[in-house]
């Protein structure tokens, strides 16, 4: 059993264990988990041990150490690392090693974290089950016949399987929160612009955000402290002071906090009774902690999924143009002219879901259709943002479900894209509006599977989410449940 990040920091500070010993434990855990769960696309024990050794030496020499010193961290394989491949789980980028680190990776290294490997995902982060990647599916550590969710399924499974205490995922339409709910861990999608996207391979640039995954809100706060903050290499990065998120989780006094409940969402058709029960129970917990419960509505909620599935594929179709076989990555060997090289390289390199979204996006942006689809979606996005502004003028946080159901079986929806897209029913709103949102473990089904709840807050109010999440976790023990395995 790997201890919490805070416990690992304490053990090293008090000389109970070294960073090398912790890294050895993480590597052993990855080696035993990998054949069962396939949470990683790449891990490098030697590299991790070398990093850990350097940290131990720094500590021995009395040099100052970063806030994540010796803590093993896994990084989703859509984030660039100069010393490990970055594949986005695509054949297109098999073996691609970027010549640079993403900003978040630079910050992890500066914080003396030990990066142990890259986690599996849906290809180019497109999917809700970590089944669309080129390097095999990831299995849910709670039940290996189930999906861990997606696209950050590898990142959440890596935590759930207790190979690392912390991991970085990315969330474009719910890709941190939905797998966090399926894997019984805590995952935060920060405000758009709060964490630099430099070095994050783009899926849908106006929606993508990197965020922390851990067992608890407090550990998410620790990781967010390291990765958040302005950076001039990302023009959409927000130049605003980063508060100490860990300190924000110290209080659990929720008196006077207004919690808005999306009552209609909670009871909508297709929402599993276990999910409804978890949300109802959470409302009770928040009320007991002193929060004021207020019913609110986000009137354009029914347009979230259609709006998302126009904007995200449109941006993706453009962002993925660069994978054409000309400069790096997969190039078809079966082409004798430029056009054939483009067509065949892309046909061979991309999987079905990526192709589907490129085609949807290309169509939505094409001459004569852009006004009907893309431009229309941009207008609706404005209405969705206005809904959030109106809601947050009444309440401090919004409470509701993360997903309509608990984790489903591997293969159950992979041939039914519409069913798969509906997994994002409750999560895409936060991405369209750019606001932060957190997924918290909130109970187990009768069958022993995790169920999550979601809290959302106004832009840049991650502290409020982490504080409310930590307060909830101080009153419940769902985040301490571990899969048997």
Partner 1 sequence: MAELPTTTIIGLEVHVQLRTQTKLFCGCSTKFGGPPNTQVCPVCLGLPGALPVMNEQAIELAIRAGLALQCDIPPMTKWDRKQYFYPDLPKGYQISQFDLPICVDGVLEIDDPADPEKHRKIHITRAHLEEDAGKSMHDETAGSADSRIDLNRCGTPLLEIVSEPDLRTADECLAYLTKLRETMVHLGVSDCEMQEGSLRVDANVNLEIDRHGEVIRTPIVEIKNMNSFRNVAAALDYEVKRQYVEWEDTGWTIKSKGKRTFGWDDVKEVTYPQREKEESADYRYFPCPDLLPVRIPRERVESIRQSLGETPGEARERLQKQYGIKAYDADVIVSQGREMVDYFDTVATHCGDGKRASSWIQQDVLRTLKERDENIDSFPVLAADLGNLLSRVAKGELPNDRARDVFKHLVEKGGTIDQAIEALGIEAVDESEMETLVKRLLDANPKVVEDVKSGNQKAIGPLIGQAKKHNPNANPQTVRQIALRLIEQAP
Minimal distance, residue 200 CB to partner 1, in Å: 6
Residue 198 interacting with partner 1 (CB under 8 A):
yes
Residues 470 and 218: beta-carbon distance below 8 Å: yes
**Which residues are paired to 169 by β-bridges?**
211
Q: At 250, list the tokens.
A: 């110290």
User: Interface with partner 1 by CB under 8 A: which range of 32-40, 127-135, 366-374, 473-481?
Assistant: 366-374
253 CB-contact burial (10 Å; exposed 0-12 / middle 13-18 / buried 19+): exposed
Residue 202 interacting with partner 1 (CB under 8 A):
yes
**Which residues are paired to 114 by β-bridges?**
72
**258-261/210-214 β-pairing:** unpaired
User: Interface with partner 1 by CB under 8 A: which range of 19-27, 128-136, 227-235, 349-357?
Assistant: 227-235
Q: Which is nearer to partner 1, 235 or 393 (CB)?
A: 235
CA distances from 124 to 76, 77, 448 (A): 11, 9, 31
Contacts with partner 1: how many residues (CB under 8 A)?
Answer: 43
Q: Which of 4, 18, 33, 76 is catalytic?
A: 76
Residues 296-315 that bind partner 1 (CB under 8 A): 314-315
Question: What does the angle CA 225 – CA 231 – CA 237 come to, to the nearest 5 degrees?
Answer: 90
Task: Please select the residue that binds partner 1; options are 232, 256, 447, 484, rule is CB under 8 A.
Answer: 232
- Across 320-348, b (16+ Cβ under 10 Å) vs e yields beebbbeeebbbbeebeeeeebbebbbeb
76 included as an active-site residue: yes
Residues 433 and 317: beta-carbon distance below 8 Å: no
Residue 324 interacting with partner 1 (CB under 8 A):
yes
CA distances from 61 to 10, 56, 265 (A): 18, 9, 56
Q: Which of 89, 129, 151, 463 is catalytic?
A: 151
Task: Please select the residue that binds partner 1; options are 338, 352, 359, 383, rule is CB under 8 A.
Answer: 338
205 included as an active-site residue: no
Residue 236 interacting with partner 1 (CB under 8 A):
yes
| Helix (H), strand (E) at residue 158 | helix 153-160
82 included as an active-site residue: no
Angstrom distance (rounded) from CA 386 to CA 372: 21
Residue 79 interacting with partner 1 (CB under 8 A):
yes
User: Interface with partner 1 by CB under 8 A: which range of 229-237, 257-265, 414-422, 423-431?
Assistant: 229-237
User: Interface with partner 1 by CB under 8 A: which range of 98-106, 213-221, 425-433, 461-469?
Assistant: 98-106
Binding site for partner 1 (CB under 8 A): 79-80, 86, 88, 93, 96, 98-100, 102, 197-202, 204-206, 232-236, 314-315, 317-318, 320-322, 324, 326-328, 338, 342, 362, 365-367, 370, 374
Catalytic positions, please? 76, 151, 175
């Amino acid at each position: 059993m790997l201890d919490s990040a805070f416990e690992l920091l304490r053990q090293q500070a008090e000389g109970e264990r070294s960073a090398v010993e912790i890294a050895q434990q993480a590597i052993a855990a990855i080696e035993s988990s990998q054949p069962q769960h396939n949470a990683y696309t790449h891990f490098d024990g030697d590299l991790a041990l070398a990093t850990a050794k350097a940290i131990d030496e720094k500590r021995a020499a009395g040099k100052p150490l970063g806030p994540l010193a010796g803590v093993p961290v896994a990084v989703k394989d859509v984030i660039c690392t100069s010393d490990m491949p970055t594949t986005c789980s695509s054949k297109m980028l098999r073996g691609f090693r970027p010549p640079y680190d993403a900003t978040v990776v630079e910050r992890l290294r500066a914080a003396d974290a030990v990066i142990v490997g890259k986690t599996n995902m849906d290809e180019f982060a497109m999917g809700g089950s970590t089944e669309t990647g080129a390097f095999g599916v990831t299995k849910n550590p709670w039940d290996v016949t189930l999906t861990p969710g997606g696209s950050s399924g590898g990142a959440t499974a890596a935590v759930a399987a207790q190979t690392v205490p912390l991991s970085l995922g990315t969330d474009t339409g719910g890709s941190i929160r939905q797998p966090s709910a399926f894997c019984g861990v805590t995952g935060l999608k920060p405000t758009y612009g709060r964490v630099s996207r430099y070095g994050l391979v783009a899926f849908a640039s106006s929606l993508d955000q990197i965020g922390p995954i851990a067992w608890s809100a407090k550990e998410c706060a620790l990781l967010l402290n390291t990765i958040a903050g302005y950076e001039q290499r990302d023009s959409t990065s927000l130049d605003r002071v980063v508060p100490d998120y860990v300190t924000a989780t110290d209080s659990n006094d929720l008196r006077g906090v207004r919690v808005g409940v999306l009552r209609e969402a909670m009871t909508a058709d297709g929402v599993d009774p276990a999910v409804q029960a978890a949300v109802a129970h959470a409302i009770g917990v928040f009320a007991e902690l002193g929060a004021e419960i207020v019913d609110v509505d986000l009137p354009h909620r029914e347009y979230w999924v259609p709006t998302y599935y126009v904007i995200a594929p449109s941006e993706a179709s453009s962002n993925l143009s660069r994978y054409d076989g000309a400069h790096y990555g997969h190039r078809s060997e079966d082409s004798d002219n430029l056009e054939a090289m483009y067509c065949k390289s892309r046909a061979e390199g991309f999987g079905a879901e990526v192709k589907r979204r490129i085609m949807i996006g290309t169509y939505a942006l094409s001459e004569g259709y852009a006004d009907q689809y893309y431009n229309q979606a941009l207008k609706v996005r404005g209405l969705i943002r206005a809904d959030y502004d109106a809601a947050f003028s009444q309440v401090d946080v919004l409470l509701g479900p993360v997903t309509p159901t608990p984790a489903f079986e591997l293969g159950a929806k992979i041939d039914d894209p519409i069913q798969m897209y509906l997994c994002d029913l409750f999560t895409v709103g936060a991405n369209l509006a750019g606001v932060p949102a957190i997924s918290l473990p909130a109970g187990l089904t009768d069958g022993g599977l995790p169920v999550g709840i979601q809290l959302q807050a106004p832009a840049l109010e991650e502290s409020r989410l982490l504080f409310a999440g930590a307060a909830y976790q101080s009153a419940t023990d769902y985040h301490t449940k571990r899969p048997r395995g």
